[in-house]
Structure 1
Amino acid sequence: MRWVFVWLLWCGAALADPSFWKHEWPETDFKKNSVSSWANILSGGPGKDGIPALDDPHWVEVGQKQGLEPREPVITLAPEGARARAYPLRYLMWHEIVNDSVGGVPVAVTYCPLCNSAIVFDRRVAGQVLSFGVTGKLRNSDMVMYDRETQSWWQQALGQGIVGDLTGTTLNTLPSWMESWEAFQAAHPDGLVMAEPAFPRSYGTNPYRRYDTSQRPFLYSGDPPPHGIPALERVVRVGDRAWPMSRLAQEGTITEAGITLIWADTQASALDTDLIGKGRDVGAIRVKNEKGKDIAHDVLFAFAFHAFWPKGQWMLD
């Protein structure tokens, strides 16, 4: 397997030049970019839209949904004035982006399996509503998205344009969290859950078996996290601060830096066993401000936090 990894890395580096991509991206202005080195952008395998984003998904009442395991993870979006919605990771695993509208707000629900990064963005930029797709490219092992309107490239972990006309533009991040399907059902019996997409995919299975217990991330050549933190340990990121999940698991509740982090639930890892709902328990968290309101955050792997926030603050015990 070592030679396969080296071959993939070489191929990705060989293609890490806009001149190789212009035939696939003729409308993207590669002269406008914030990329320090094109060698940091690698092909993850699939080409443009090889991982198909979803648009305007169908919905099912919570009480009518079948086929989900109690502990399998969902991304919860519960804005005030709108019914809570659950986006099962069994679908995001294969599509990575869902373009939706909740409570009149156009949103992009995103998940990068290689970084475990699940973030919901407002799709409005300067009065324009964008729709997002998957480029098939990776930077620091994190998904590079694109918008269909300007063909600009976006870094999912940052929510920021990195190539094209919208370089430097940052999307607004909305409060959302990952929790078990069972927890969502209990908290939102009148909520909605995303229906199974009409694609020939093995929904419910994990194509990244044992990934989150491996020693190194896929197609990542950056520095490891400091303080001896394992590269694939989950950390809770709020802004440019990161709290290791191992600390939160021990303490239960942490209040510092003006926020409160709460160990809230059990939840199966989507990146462990063949079946997502049977993964080992990795816990679930909620993050609230001083007024008890949910705030935007991310639960991603430590290597990704270090890669994108190299000067970030590690909130250690």
Structure 2
Amino acid sequence: MDFAGVSVLGAGSWGTALAHLIAGNGFDVSLWDIDPERIWALRKTRTNERYLPGLLLSPRIQFADDLRQAISGKDLILLAVPSHAFAACLRNLRPFLPPWPKIAWGTKGLDPDGGCLLHEVALEVLGPNCHLAALSGPTFAREVMLGLPSAITVASHEAEFATAIAELLHNEFFRAYTSSDLVGVQLGGAVKNVLAIAAGVSDGMGFGANARAALITRGLAEMIRLGEALGARRETFMGLAGVGDLILTATDDQSRNRRLGLGLGKGRTVVELKAEIGQEIEGILTARLVWQLAAKLGVEMPIVEQVYALLYEEAAPQEAVRKLLLRERKPEAF
């Protein structure tokens, strides 16, 4: 399975970096965004000054503000839109798609209406006659743009499709692995954002490295419990899309979710932090959706529960920490 060209939908930081990566590997790429002013600026400067300032984009990228034009002649459509816009983007695409379209996404999150995984949304919107794959792993867009060593997982129920996308992305600094665990790879990319908020809160309150390590480890246990309840494989969460992405997002200040947590731990509000960060913070919406999903499935996720309380019940960080520390003692288990 080969690709003559790729259309990347969403010119945020990750969509821009993916377009640049793929173009640098020798493929023709179109980059679309719903904001025509952003596309105009990209055409004029060939830099994404809002999200990736100072980094020049590959000359093989063409910029489009018309969706039909963006996907015309392209074999693979790669979505990099926020999770809350994912379903709408697919619905807008549907009239222009060929039979058996090839759809992939680097979006990390759940559908806001039903808490579904994004491949379930794609099947509902597009029907069963499509090839689907999800990209996830520990990758900051700016580092990918700079050509720093990075690795990612491409998950699909079709091994040939996953392999073709991995080959499209793979080069001397960007390593792409494949997986058949579409559920686990997507869930890891969603839940880690919530856990990164928790790690940020802990560091914002000055609790130190011991507390951060404990939160990451016990957060991983929560991720695994939820994943297994949904049919994911445990070993997926020990890989790039699980613990790898969790470590990255929970420990580095390039993470918007971690920065939100840092601010909350210092007593600042969600409203002011969202305005300051100025980009989508997926963990805010995902915290509510994961909390609801865990409650529905009867999965114990105490860290997620306290992040939800911070974001949606106006709980104080000190109270959230107290509730975590005062939980009943028990053997450590995953």
Using structure 1 for the length normalisation, give the TM-score. 0.26
Q: Which fold has the larger relative contact order, with Cα–Cα distance below 8 Å and residues 6 or more apart in sequence? A: 1
Greater share of residues in helix = 2
Greater share of residues in strand = 1
Using structure 2 for the length normalisation, give the TM-score. 0.25
